[in-house]
Amino acid sequence: MKENKVYTVTCIETCPECNGVGTVQSQSWTDFWSEVERSGYKAHNMGMDDFNDLVAVYEDNFGGLGPQTIPCSECDGIGEKIRKVPLLDALHDLGIMPRD
């Protein structure tokens, strides 16, 4: 490798924060489900009427919930993390060139 040159490759991987979806649950909804769990309700066997009642009670006490999902801040909502990786690191990572 010549001096003053750095060879890199582009690494595109599924965002670990949102698993490639591009959105994550908003904090207000995470807090809501925590509160639901704490109060003993089981989300998986809750009917729509119970759910709507819980949302209404929660919003009365804690304010509006807003959207359930928001763009993932880790990947800016694209579901992928794109970064430059030094060529040698990529070759090691791919198993093409052994480490050491």
Residues lying near Zn ion in the complex (CB under 5 A): 15, 17-18, 72, 74-75
Q: Using the structure block, give the residue that is written with the tokens 């999902």.
A: 69
Q: How far is the CB of 12 from Zn ion (least distance, A)?
A: 13
Q: How far is the CB of 71 from Zn ion (least distance, A)?
A: 8
Cross-strand pairs, 11: 83
Nearer Cβ to Zn ion (37/74): 74
Q: How far is the CB of 9 from Zn ion (least distance, A)?
A: 21
Nearer Cβ to Zn ion (13/93): 13
- Mapping DSSP to helix (H, G, I), strand (E, B) and coil, where does residue 19 land? coil
* Distance set, CA 49 to CA 25, 46, 58, 88 (Å): 22, 8, 14, 57
